[in-house]
A = this chain, B = another copy of it.
Amino acid sequence: MSKTVTSACLIIIGNEILSGRTQDTNLAHLSGVLNELGIRMLEARVIPDIESTIVDTVNQCRNRFDYVFTTGGIGPTHDDITADSLAKAFGVEIEEHPEVAALIKQRPATPEVMASRLRMARIPVGATLIENPTGGPPGFQLGNVFVMAGVPMVMQAMASTFDRNRLPGGEPVRSLTVGAFLGESQVAEALSEIQSRYPEIDLGSYPFYRPDGYGTNLVMRGTEEDDLKAMAEAVTDMISSFGATPYPGGAPAAIQDD
């Protein structure tokens, strides 16, 4: 990629992801949303619910990437420290946001439960809200950092509100896949040659192994549609030249690949 791209980083906050208890799915989902906006996910980090770690990681990443997203740690319990950590990272105060507090108070509760719930109304000063179409408390944007829920259903709802006004990017990133029952070593040299002809397109090769045989899916990603199509044709011809069948979209019925 020699061109300037609009870059993003996702910080996944949560001990449960690091311990292996919960499988993250937010990275793959958000990457797909950002691809459409012409923004490339260039790094992701999974970090524990420790304030100093959150502060340091946010400050490192917000200086290195155009956009930073966080997921997790914005609920009502003692281990939900993302909002406070963000305020600290930016050196701003955190206050109860009247609009969010009003939303939360719509559902009645005992004073004790309401006090816990109102933790979710604490928003760093200067932040703008990220709408939560599930009806729960919103996320927020502070500078170039977008703070979102960790629960996939809620995170996906928040991400559905992103558009080019809020997140100016570039051309949408498109991808094409061609698969074949050919080993990676068989195609390695030809792939390297094809990659050098289209430097603007990323060409990745992903082997798979399954009961009916092994093979490789070749994935091309980039913004230049003409180059993308030309490269896919070159890959298709290369596969045929080895006497194998090219499968547009990837070799069928894959059960595991990488």
Spell out A's residues near B (CB within 8 Å). Answer: 14-25, 27-32, 35, 40-49, 53, 72, 75-79, 109, 112-117, 119, 149-153, 173, 175, 183-189, 191-192, 195, 202-207, 209, 219, 221, 256-258
How many copies of the shown chain assemble into the complex?
Answer: 2
**Is the beta-carbon distance between A77 and B15 smaller than 8 angstroms?**
no
> Which residue from chain B places its CB closest to the CB of A57 in the assembled complex?
B43
Known A-B contacts A15-B204, A72-B258, A204-B15; A77 and B21 likewise in contact (beta carbons under 8 Å):
no
**Is the beta-carbon distance between A18 and B35 smaller than 8 angstroms?**
no
> Which residue from chain B places its CB closest to the CB of A119 in the assembled complex?
B188
Give 8 closest A-B pairs by Cβ, nearest first: A20-B31, A116-B188, A78-B192, A44-B46, A151-B258, A117-B185, A20-B28, A116-B185
Q: Which residues on B sit within 8 Å (CB–CB) of A78?
A: 188, 191-192, 195, 203
Q: Which residues on B sit within 8 Å (CB–CB) of A41?
A: 18-20
Measured CB to CB, the closest approach of chain B to A31, in angstroms, equals 3
Known A-B contacts A75-B207, A256-B152; A175 and B25 likewise in contact (beta carbons under 8 Å):
no
> Which residue from chain B places its CB closest to the CB of A8 in the assembled complex?
B18
**Is the beta-carbon distance between B45 and A18 smaller than 8 angstroms?**
no
> Which residue from chain B places its CB closest to the CB of A177 in the assembled complex?
B21
Known A-B contacts A20-B32, A151-B207; A15 and B221 likewise in contact (beta carbons under 8 Å):
yes
Known A-B contacts A115-B189, A185-B117, A192-B77; A19 and B46 likewise in contact (beta carbons under 8 Å):
no
Q: List 11 extra interface pairs beyond A19-B41, A22-B206, CB under 8 A.
A: A18-B40, A21-B219, A23-B23, A23-B28, A44-B45, A45-B45, A45-B46, A109-B185, A112-B189, A113-B183, A153-B209
13 contacts between A and B (CB under 8 A): A15-B202, A17-B27, A19-B173, A19-B175, A20-B30, A21-B28, A22-B28, A22-B258, A23-B23, A72-B258, A113-B188, A116-B189, A151-B207
**Is the beta-carbon distance between A43 and B45 smaller than 8 angstroms?**
yes
**Is the beta-carbon distance between B204 and A79 smaller than 8 angstroms?**
yes
**Is the beta-carbon distance between B15 and A20 smaller than 8 angstroms?**
no
- Complex: how many Å from CA A253 to CA B50? 31
Measured CB to CB, the closest approach of chain B to A224, in angstroms, equals 16
**Is the beta-carbon distance between A186 and B113 smaller than 8 angstroms?**
yes
**Is the beta-carbon distance between A205 and B77 smaller than 8 angstroms?**
yes
- Of B20, B42, B75, B191, which contacts A27 at CB under 8 A? B20
Q: Which residues on B sit within 8 Å (CB–CB) of A48?
A: 42-43
